[in-house]
């Protein structure tokens, strides 16, 4: 990071475990699984019939129906998370407020409006182009979640989108922090969302052999680092953080959760879906984040793992951690909150950043549930079963995406 320091002053989320930050955090600490049988679509002929659905989400509790109909579900979810984060931060701008020109948005999404895409394509093929919605394209494109938040919350500063698969919202947070650090903004809303529990997405990921098919045991299906894991569990949701230049935050008396001190990236350059064997790419991203922060690995007191519950990821991530942390790899508490939330795709990095920040705030780390038969190759301390009190001063959050995108964030206690 540059000379301008960046802090977290607001948090927001909606996901399968909770409809806001505090209910989500309680659920994570209690080891609550948000996974169940799919109800949103007919999944009877799909190999994977389980997912992390948000079953009680009523968008009209947050916005008028007319506005909601112009947004895909992924955009609605991000809008709600961003609104919670801004409320939490105490930041609100009136139209043309001069300060609003120094506030922006970075959103991450892996797929964007895939539900709308399916609906519009069905209309095109079954009825014809004359029945396509004029809002179809704006609902589909991945940048529109950030665009809509900018419009509705009067954020006129930098506005961009990361589309780096499962690393997207971690990229969004890192990019937003860099924007503030270099002086281009004072406040940024950063995070991500996906809502890909659709027949096309579920079927496509299943054909890629990425999804769990433990259909008879939904809550036990996401089991990172366990010998019985058989793929990730699709989930929907969003999370957002308000990032702020430190002096700006202190001058207005803001509550500071944590400081963003490190951002590392690398490319595996290996395969469209598989991580590079040995975890060399992930290790380089982790080391880059440590170098950016100017600290050694031994300082890290909690690591929120990417931990997808896939055969390849969990082993290679373990190897990467050992490469970077050395002997400290066996001492640092590591957990995968995907064991409870499922995999939010482009929203995963943001909700895991929220969990990392809250671990710093409350000095407690969430567990990895369903870890009953550890893979012998995954032999680190993954905090199995129950949350643990830990004096978290430095927290690392890993996010790795299809295509070999590796992103790592580092947070420090304020």
Q: Of the residues 248, 271, 328, 343, which is catalytic? A: 343
Q: What whole-number distance in Å separates Cα of residue 279 and Cα of residue 247?
A: 38
Provide the 3-class DSSP secondary structure of residue 238: strand
Q: Of the residues 130, 248, 271, 306, which is catalytic? A: 306
Q: Of the residues 166, 248, 378, 405, which is catalytic? A: 166
Among 351, 330, 333, residue whose Cα is nearest residue 342: 351
Count the Cβ atoms, other than its own, within 10 Å of residue 158. Answer: 18
Among 73, 402, 49, 62, residue whose Cα is nearest residue 237: 73
Relative to beta strand 302-304, strand 334-335 is parallel
Q: What whole-number distance in Å separates Cα of residue 300 and Cα of residue 294?
A: 12
Cβ–Cβ < 8 Å for 100, 155: yes
Q: What whole-number distance in Å separates Cα of residue 86 and Cα of residue 226?
A: 38
Give, as one character, the DSSP assignment of residue 188. E
Expressed in angstroms, the distance from the first to the final Cα of the chain is 16
Q: Is 306 a catalytic residue?
A: yes
Q: Is 166 a catalytic residue?
A: yes
Count the Cβ atoms, other than its own, within 10 Å of residue 121. Answer: 13
Among 360, 364, 370, 278, residue whose Cα is nearest residue 318: 278
Count the Cβ atoms, other than its own, within 10 Å of residue 87. Answer: 13
Cβ–Cβ < 8 Å for 316, 280: no
Which residues make beta-bridge pairs with 12?
240
Among 166, 209, 195, 198, residue whose Cα is nearest residue 38: 198
Annotated catalytic residues are 166, 306, 343
């Amino acid at each position: 990071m540059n000379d301008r320091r960046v802090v977290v002053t607001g948090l927001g989320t909606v996901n399968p475990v909770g409809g806001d930050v505090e209910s989500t955090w309680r659920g994570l600490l209690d080891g609550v699984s948000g996974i169940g049988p799919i109800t949103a679509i007919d999944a009877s002929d799909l190999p994977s019939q389980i997912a992390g659905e948000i079953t009680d989400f009523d968008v009209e509790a947050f916005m008028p129906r007319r506005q909601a109909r112009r947004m895909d579900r992924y955009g609605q979810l991000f809008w709600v998370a961003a609104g919670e984060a801004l409320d939490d931060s105490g930041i609100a701008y009136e139209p043309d407020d001069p300060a609003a020109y120094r506030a922006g948005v970075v959103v991450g999404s892996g797929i964007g409006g895939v539900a709308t895409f399916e609906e519009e394509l069905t209309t095109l093929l079954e009825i014809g182009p004359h029945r396509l919605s004029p809002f179809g394209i704006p609902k589909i494109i991945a940048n529109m979640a950030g665009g809509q938040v900018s419009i509705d919350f009067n954020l006129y500063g930098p506005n961009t989108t990361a589309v780096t698969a499962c690393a997207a919202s971690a990229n969004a947070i890192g990019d937003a922090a860099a924007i503030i650090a270099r002086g281009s903004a004072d406040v940024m809303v950063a995070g991500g969302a996906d809502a890909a529990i659709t027949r096309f997405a579920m079927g496509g990921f299943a054909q890629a052999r990425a999804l769990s098919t433990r259909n008879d045991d939904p809550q036990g299906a996401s089991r990172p680092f366990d010998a019985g894991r058989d793929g990730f569990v699709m989930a929907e949701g969003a999370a957002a953080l308000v990032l702020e230049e430190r002096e700006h935050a202190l001058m207005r008396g803001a509550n500071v959760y944590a400081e963003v001190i490190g951002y590392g990236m690398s490319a595996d350059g290996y395969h469209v879906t598989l991580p590079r064997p040995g975890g060399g790419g992930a290790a380089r991203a982790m080391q880059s984040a440590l170098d950016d922060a100017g600290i050694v690995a031994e300082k890290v007191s909690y690591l929120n793992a990417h931990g997808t519950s896939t055969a390849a990821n969990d082993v290679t991530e373990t190897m990467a951690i050992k490469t970077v942390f050395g002997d400290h790899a066996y001492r640092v508490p590591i957990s995968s909150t995907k064991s409870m939330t499922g995999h939010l795709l482009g929203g995963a990095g943001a909700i895991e950043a929220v969990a990392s920040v809250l671990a710093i705030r409350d000095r407690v780390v969430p567990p990895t549930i369903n870890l009953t038969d550890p893979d012998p190759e995954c032999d680190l301390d993954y905090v199995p079963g129950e949350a643990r009190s830990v004096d978290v001063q430095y927290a690392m959050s890993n996010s790795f995406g299809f295509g070999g995108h590796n992103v790592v964030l580092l947070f420090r206690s304020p």
